Amino acid sequence: DIVLTQSPALAVSLGQRATISCRASQSVSISRYNLMHWYQQKPGQQPKLLIYRASNLASGIPARFSGSGSGTDFTLTINPVQADDIATYYCQQSRESPPTFGAGTKLELK
């Protein structure tokens, strides 16, 4: 299985930029398609899709969220961070079955 590695936590101030990284154990790109996706999860809630195929904003997601990367290294950026963004963020790959998730990065207030 493809292993996705995320930092456990990130402390950020409101109004600042947050950069969350995800590294895959092997490439998750096929041709021009980067099969990495990002989710936000708040306690007691289901995950919410933020970014699909590395850089595409999901429907209804604010433009302060963006994604980038290719191959094995991917980044989710939140700029500026708002109070409502305090949550855990997961990356997920769909290059190979089974789809796998990172361990999550908990975004905290500094």
Partner 1 sequence: QVKLQQSGAELVKPGASVKLSCKTSGYTFSTSYMSWFKQIPGQSIEWIGMIYAGDGGTGYNQKFKGKATLTVDTSSSTAYMDLSSLTTEDSAVYFCARSITTWHYFDYWGQGVMVTVSS
Q: Which residues bind partner 1 (CB under 8 A)?
A: 33, 35, 37, 39, 45-49, 52-53, 58-59, 90, 92, 94, 97-104
Q: Measured from the CB of residue 19, what is the shortest distance to partner 1 in angstroms? A: 20
Q: Measured from the CB of residue 109, what is the shortest distance to partner 1 in angstroms? A: 20
What phi, psi does 14 have (nearest 5°)?
A: -60, 140
Which of residues 59 and 83 has its CB atom nearest to partner 1 in the complex?
59
Which of residues 23 and 53 has its CB atom nearest to partner 1 in the complex?
53
Partner residues linked to 104 by β-bridges: none
Residues 12, 74 contacting (CB under 8 angstroms): no
As a whole number of angstroms, the distance between CA 11 and CA 56 comes to: 25
